[in-house]
Amino acid sequence: MSTPSGASTFLLLGNELRLFWRSWGGKQKGARGRLIGFGVALAVIGFGLGWPFALLLKLIPKDPGPELTLGLDGGLLLLLTLMMSSTVSSAALAFYERGDLDLLLSSPTPPYRVLTVRCASMAIMSSAFFMLLATPVIGPAVAMGHPKWLLIYVVLIGLALIATSLGLMIATTLFRVIGPRRTKTLSQVMAAVIGAALFLTSQLRWILPPEQIKGLWKSALDFSRSGPFANTQILSLPARAVLCEPIPGIVLFAFGLLLFLLVTRWLGARFAQNAAAAAGVGAGGRRVARGGIRGFEGGPYGAMVRKEVRLLLRDPALLSQVLLRVLYLIPIAALVLRGGSMRTTAWLMGGGAGLLFGPDTWIARSGAVLVFLTTQLAGTLAWITVSAEDAPELLASAPAKESILRRAKLTAAMTPVFIILGGPLGGLVYLHPWAGIVTAIGCASAALSACLIALWFEKPAKRKDLRRRRSGSLLGALAETFISFCWASATWFAVVKLWWAVVPALLAVVILIAIRKPVRSFVEVLELA
Amino acid sequence: MTPDGQQDALRLRGLSKTYGGKIAVDKLDLDVRAGELYALLGPNGAGKTTTLRMVAGLLKPDAGTIELFGIDALKDPSAAKQITAWAPDEPLLYDKLTPVEYLDFVAGLWGVDPKVGRKRTEDLLKWLDLWDQRQQRCEGFSRGMKQKTSLAGALIHEPKLLILDEPLTGLDAAAAREVKDLLQERARAGATVILTTHILEVAERIADRIGIIARGKLLAQGTLEELRNQTGADQSSLEDVFLRLTAEPTP
């Protein structure tokens, strides 16, 4: 008698990808047309922008020297780390996201196969973004008669397989060492810290004194020239893979695939045990309060603020995102303390227009950066508090005024923003009252804009679904980014007392007016949920 | 008003709702007396939940009127909601909150005086056997405990009208018994309770009156005895009466 082997890997993978596609609205009416239209627009814009870069590919020497090899290896390592920042938390979530997990594990399908499929879809998703990003450059390069650059996709998939395997090993080790409950929290915090570490590394130039940077750079070059990155050495392999040499590229992919298969096979049995242990997380309760019955003050407004603040504080994924934003402040703080140049940082964080047209003073740049960060933080928190609601029927069936409840939600969302940015703002007011006041106004305008966008583009969902989907409105996200840029520029100009400040400020207001929508009532939101 | 001069707790006239061309509720007239425990029964897709969601203010009717204790719920929804509580089959909870924090929130939504809210919270949690778990997050609770916490939320503002959609779904025998006792106790205390259920024995045992709905229309209502008389099925169980009333006419 033959033993039933359960669902095949391809069937499971097909199902996983179908669910992913549908979670992005792929089955909705007109989705295919919209996607094709979006794809064509993206391709036209992307290829237009990518063409000059594709020409630059020609300039890369056939035999990279040790310096270029070191640089490319470093770039690949950064990319791997970036991919790992998402695969660590996704791998841990693979144990917790029930979805169809109970069904699959109760079927004759071997657990390692379930794990393989979950991780394969993770690898596909983490490489897809970078493949999409590479296409505008690779496409023209191939069109110019260099098909070898297609190998970059194979390299990216290989890298994603390595990142997924490492993420899975880290998650499983955490599970074993600190248990299921802490793993869930720590993996999310780790993902944020890895992302922040990458950012901080890229900003080392601004954080460390110039002499130290020069010293580090010289040591790295000396090391690279001492032999380990020579063409015949193994450390040159990743760089040559990036340059699309066939054998290194295939070796990197094969290594990724082998590691992936070994890790999923090896951890397959443990996966079933971990998933079972994760299912019990929360059972038995978690004590969060002491003493008797407190609260109950402040009517609907106070009750809503308390509830939202509690939920924000108990959401480790969200906290890690906020932590990430706080870590972004480090290079700015370093620059402000040093009073040195921060041209690139300011450019990256939204003072671009100011940098092009305005005087280059550190105080103006700090203001612009603070305004940009305000929009980032306010946007994330307002989006979560407005859209994530686990009991929408409770709100819709309550007699409390909807406007009061929404205001309370936004108050709760803005509280951490003011706590985090209050210190730097206070410091700015102390150092330079005019700049401090102008920046405070810029921050308030940016926060208000983020709140309005969160209200207008509300996408009602349960908190955990919202986190899983991470999908908001594209128009809302674009508008938020552009408006944050406008307020940052306006602040910059206003700090240096240039009347030009009116232009970006007016532009922000015009965009807000153009995208405004009526706020949906709770009953209408219920129908959408 | 009822013939004996009492005010109806709920009075629906010509209530209609259509979803994408499909009629869910069809010119429904329904009266529920104050202080009674009323069971609304019907096969799947009969329009029970849609009706109750419209009464609770969660859905806008296409036509018709809804009166709760004389208040026009469509003209003054806030006043109607003030005296109503809605408890669906899926408990309205926040997993990351404790029962006390949850009740703090719900009491706030209904504007309950803080001192009264704290006292009722303690009473309800003790009464529902949740006092020892008051400091634990709801995420670790069993289905029964979650349902009881949600019910405590529904009762924190002492509603005159309690509307429950399938309140016994997923509960074990002991928890189901507790919920049934609780509902009868609320009705005895003067509140009006309207519930839907697929468990006909429950309706037979605890309901003062029963309404049977199918294809969005009320087929019959009354006590079990009155329903038996209406269908000419003496000594029959509620199940027999229900099946006779809701049987699709054979072509």
Which one of A294, A311, A400 has the shortest CB-CB distance to B94?
A311
* Residues in contact with B53: Cβ distance below 8 Å, sequence separation at least 6, in sequence order: B59, B165
Non-local (6+) Cβ contacts of A35 within 8 A are: A26
Instruction: From chain A, pick out residues whose CB is under 8 angstroms from the CB of B79.
Output: 399
Which residue does chain B place closest to A305, by CA atoms? B105
Residue B101 to residue A295, Cβ atoms within 8 A = yes
Per the prediction, chain A carries an average pLDDT of: 79
What local confidence, expressed as pLDDT, does residue B156 receive? 93
* Contact A59/B at CB under 8 A: no
Of B96, B108, B115, the CB nearest to A300: B108
Which of residues A369 and B116 earns the better pLDDT score?
A: B116
pLDDT value for A159: 93
Q: What are B63's two structure tokens?
A: 């036509």
> CB distance from A390 to chain B under 8 Å?
yes
Place of tokens 């603070």: A370
Percent of all residues in chain B with a pLDDT value above 70, rounded to a whole number? 96
pLDDT in tens, A99-158: 667 777 777 777 778 888 888 888 888 888 788 888 888 888 888 878 888 899 999 999
Query: Count of CB atoms within 10 A of residue A273's CB?
Result: 13
C-beta separation of A231 from A118 below 8 A: no
- Sign of the C-alpha dihedral computed for residues A525, A322, A420 and A182 taken in this order: positive
DSSP A273-317: HHHHHHHTTTTT--B---SS-----SHHHHHHHHHHHHHHHT-HH
Does the distance separating the beta carbons of B97 and A310 come in below 8 Å? yes
Distance CA A7, CA A266 (A): 20
pLDDT score recorded for residue B162: 94
Residue B105 has phi, psi (to 5 degrees) of: -65, -50
Tens digits of residue pLDDT in A327-352:
766 666 666 555 544 444 444 444 44
pLDDT, tens digit (0-9, with 9 covering 90-100), for B65-93 = 999 999 999 999 999 999 999 999 888 89
The alpha carbon of residue A96 is apart from the nearest alpha carbon of chain B, in Å, by 14
- Contact assessment for residue A160 and residue A83, using Cβ atoms and an 8 Å cutoff: yes
Query: What ipTM describes this predicted complex?
Result: 0.88
The alpha carbon of residue B110 is apart from the nearest alpha carbon of chain A, in Å, by 6
pLDDT band at B18 (very low <50, low <70, confident <90, very high): very high
Cα atoms found within 13 Å of the Cα of residue A37, Cβ hemisphere only: 5
B92 closest CB neighbour out of A290, A391, A399? A391
Return d(Cα A185, Cα A175) in angstroms, integer: 11
Percent of chain A with pLDDT over 90: 20
Q: Give me the phi and psi of A516, to 5 degrees please.
A: -65, 145
> Token digits for A512?
């807000």
Q: What does DSSP assign to residue B6?
A: P
Rounded CA-CA distance A159/A151 in Å is: 12
Minimal CA separation from B2 to chain A, in Å: 27
pLDDT at B46 over 50: yes
Q: Give the phi and the psi of residue A167 in degrees, each rounded to 5.
A: -60, -40
pLDDT at site A210 = 74
Q: Which residues of B touch A394 (CB under 8 A)?
A: 86, 92, 106, 109, 153
pLDDT at position A285 is 52
Percent of chain B with pLDDT over 90: 49
Q: Do A288 and B109 touch (CB under 8 A)?
A: no
pLDDT for the residue A287:
56
Closest CA in chain B for residue A291? B135
Q: Does residue B67 sit in helix, strand or coil?
A: strand
pLDDT value, residue A351: 46
Report how far residue A428's alpha carbon sits from residue B213's, in angstroms, rounded to the nearest whole number.
Answer: 68
Contacts of B95 in chain A (CB under 8 A): 282, 390
Give the one of A284, A396, A400 whose C-beta lies nearest to B140's C-beta: A284
Average confidence (pLDDT) over A286-312: 80
Q: What is the pLDDT of residue A452?
A: 94
pLDDT of residue A259: 94
Report the pLDDT averaged over residues A17-24.
Answer: 68
Q: Among B58, B60, B107, select the one facing A296 at the smallest CB separation.
A: B107
pLDDT of residue B40: 93
Low-confidence winner among A112-116, A301-305, A415-419 (lowest mean pLDDT): A112-116
Report the DSSP beta bridge partners of residue B25. B17
* Residue B161, CB-side half-sphere exposure with 13 Å CA sphere: 29
Mutate to test the interface with B, among A394, A465, A527 (most CBs of B within 10 A): A394
- How far is B141 from B129, CA to CA, in rounded Å? 13
Model confidence band, residue A22 (pLDDT cutoffs 50, 70, 90): low
Higher pLDDT, A430 or A3: A430
> Which residue among B94, B101, B108 sits closest to A302, beta carbon to beta carbon?
B108
Closest CA to A505 of A435, A460, A442: A442
Q: Is the pTM of this model over 0.80?
A: no
Has residue A31 got a pLDDT over 70?
no
Determine the longest span between alpha carbons in chain A, in angstroms: 85
Instruction: Give me the total of CB pairs closer than 8 Å, taking one residue from chain A and one from chain B.
Output: 133
Chain B touched by A295 (CB under 8 Å): yes
Q: Say what the pLDDT of residue A357 is.
A: 45
User: Nearest by CB to A288, which of B60, B106, B135?
Assistant: B135
Contacts of A303 in chain B (CB under 8 A): 104-109
User: Which residues in chain A have their CB less than 8 angstroms from residue B96's CB?
Assistant: 310-311, 314-315
Is the separation of the CB atoms in A406 and A478 below 8 Å? Answer: no
Residue B174, pLDDT score? 81
Gap between the Cα atoms of B182 and B101, Å rounded? 22
- Cα torsion at A197, A123, A264, A257 (round to 10°)? -100
The mean pLDDT of A307-326, rounded to a whole number, is 79
What single-letter amino acid sits at B235? Q
Q: Which amino acid is at B191?
A: A
Bridge-partner residues for B68, per DSSP? B10, B71
- Residue A417 C-alpha from the chain's centroid: 19
Contacts of A407 in chain B (CB under 8 A): none
Residue A288's pLDDT band, with cuts at 50, 70 and 90, is low
